[in-house]
Amino acid sequence: MHMFHLLADELLLDTSPAVPAPPVDYAAAMAKMCLTLLALLALMGVTFWFLRKLMQQRMQRGNANQTIRILEKRMISTKTMLYLVELEGQKILLAESHLEVRRIHGLGEPSQS
């Protein structure tokens, strides 16, 4: 048993030189992290642009052969939208809120298109 303690003590007190850790290049790691962040932000921007373009095309394509066409829409507040609608050649301005849809104004003569 005494021999076992001696071996255990020798292992614990082993003073052989440890392998040094490789030097860490913090500048390269920081540059890599910044490039990755920029790439992710660019990807998010391109995705947002693509989805917005896709929605505009779908809205235009949906209006092509319809009697009622949504010409334009604008957000007034988080709960209110304005729509410029063409119905049988006449332009109508509508306001939509979470409570109702209301005709604001008819905009004159039928269009020539």
List all residues 6 or more positions away from 67 whose beta carbon is below 8 Å from its beta carbon. Answer: 87, 88
Measured distance CA(71)–CA(91) in Å, rounded: 9
Token digits for 87? 């119905």
Asked whether residue 4 carries a pLDDT value surpassing 90, the answer given is no
User: Is 94 in contact with 102 (CB distance < 8 Å)?
Assistant: yes
Terminal C-alpha separation, the chain: 104
Q: What is the reported pLDDT for 109?
A: 53
Q: What is the reported pLDDT for 22?
A: 75
Whether this model's pTM surpasses 0.85: no
User: Is 106 in contact with 92 (CB distance < 8 Å)?
Assistant: yes
Mean pLDDT, to the nearest integer, of 73-77?
90
Q: What is the reported pLDDT for 48?
A: 96
pLDDT tier at 58, thresholds 50, 70, 90 = confident
Give the type of residue at 93.
L
- Considering the chain, what percentage of its residues have pLDDT values greater than 90? 28
- Per-residue pLDDT tens digits for 9-47: 555 555 556 667 777 888 999 999 999 999 999 999 999
Give me Rg for the CA atoms of the chain.
35
Mean pLDDT, to the nearest integer, of 91-97?
91
